[in-house]
Amino acid sequence: MILSHTSSLVQWDCPLWEASLTEVHLTRPDGNTQRRYAQVRSHRGALAEGDVVEHNGLLVTSPARAALEYTTIADVEHSLVEIDDLLHRKLVELAELRARYATMAQWPGTLITDLVLRLADARSESVGETRARYLVWSQGLPAPEVNYPICDEYGREVARVDLAWPAYGVFLEFDGKVKYERLLRPGESAADVVFREKQREDMICRLTGWRCIRLVWADLYQPQTTAAHIRALFRPIAA
């Protein structure tokens, strides 16, 4: 039997945001799912060439197969988090996912898979960034530019912002604990990072004339309120 679905994504070091890990997911190459065990969930599905690989000394479904399998047991937002991560780490290509999905479209539970693939973006660098982008889409806000470069008066790139709406003069940054830990330099405190980020934000606002909105985890659990805050900052910029 082969580790699949969530259990395969564990082996590929995916973030597994809010994923249930109470069951081991297995795909049986013989197609038999009748026999059940406690905390083991068996699946069946035709295995194509390249769907099964040895990884960490175990037989697991490939990143592409595991990502698509996950869309059959999770919702759009949770599936998007995992697929964005795999794309960003270059463990899979979007074209590969689409090609493999074309052979799985009749599988039970794949109704959302096409939507997830249309929303997926390899430029998202974290769970928070993907969820912020999903919030924007689900609340009907204009599509933002992802990982948008900011240039100084000489045309040199000096920063990148998580999401940007150049036509509306707004950029968005997601502030998560992992982000600040990543930015921490030797000998620095969290306060040093926050101060440096504030200086960076001020520089971007000065160069662009845009307004900044910062989101934290709690904001992502209040999508309607958060979307209203973003929308209130929009000011169409004359061409």
239 is a domain residue: no
pLDDT, the chain, mean:
89
In a domain, 176, yes or no: yes
Rounded to whole angstroms, the maximal C-alpha distance in the chain is 67
Nearest Cα residue to 122 out of 91, 159, 143, 101: 91
Q: Is residue 46 part of a domain?
A: yes
Q: Degrees (nearest 5) of the Cα angle 189, 195, 200?
A: 130
Co-location of 187 and 211 in the same domain: yes
Q: Which domain-ending residue is among 104, 122, 140?
A: 122
Same domain, 98 and 165: no
Residue 177 belongs to a domain: yes
Task: Take residue 125 and report the two structure tokens written for it.
Answer: 């660098």
Which tens digits make up the pLDDT trace of 172-230? 999 854 454 555 556 555 565 666 778 889 999 999 999 999 999 999 999 999 999 99
Q: Are residues 94 and 45 in the same domain?
A: yes
Q: Do 200 and 177 fall within a single domain? A: yes
Query: Could you tell me if residue 185 is inside a domain?
Result: yes
Q: Find the distance separating the first CA and the last CA of the chain, reported in whole Å.
A: 60
> What domain count does the chain have?
2
User: In angstroms, rounded to a whole number, what is the distance separating the alpha carbons of residues 234 and 229?
Assistant: 9
Predicted confidence at residue 43, as pLDDT, reads: 82
**Per DSSP, what are the bridge partners of residue 164?**
145, 171
CATH of the domain at 150: 3.40.960
Region 103-117: what's the mean pLDDT? 88
User: pLDDT per residue over 151-162, tens digit each?
Assistant: 999 999 999 999
Q: Which domain holds residue 199?
A: 128-233
Q: Are residues 28 and 84 in the same domain?
A: yes
- Please indicate, yes or no, if residue 32 is contained in any of the structural domains: yes
Residue 171 lies in a domain: yes
Tell if the pTM clears 0.85, that is, is over it: yes
- Show Cβ contacts of residue 19 under 8 Å, excluding neighbours closer than 6 positions: 6, 9, 74, 78, 82
Domain boundary residue, one of 122, 137, 153: 122
The verdict on 93 and 202 lying in the same domain is: no
Contacts of 165 (CB under 8 A, 6+ apart): 142, 144, 145, 171, 234
Does residue 238 sit within a domain? Answer: no
| 3-class state of residue 196 by DSSP | helix
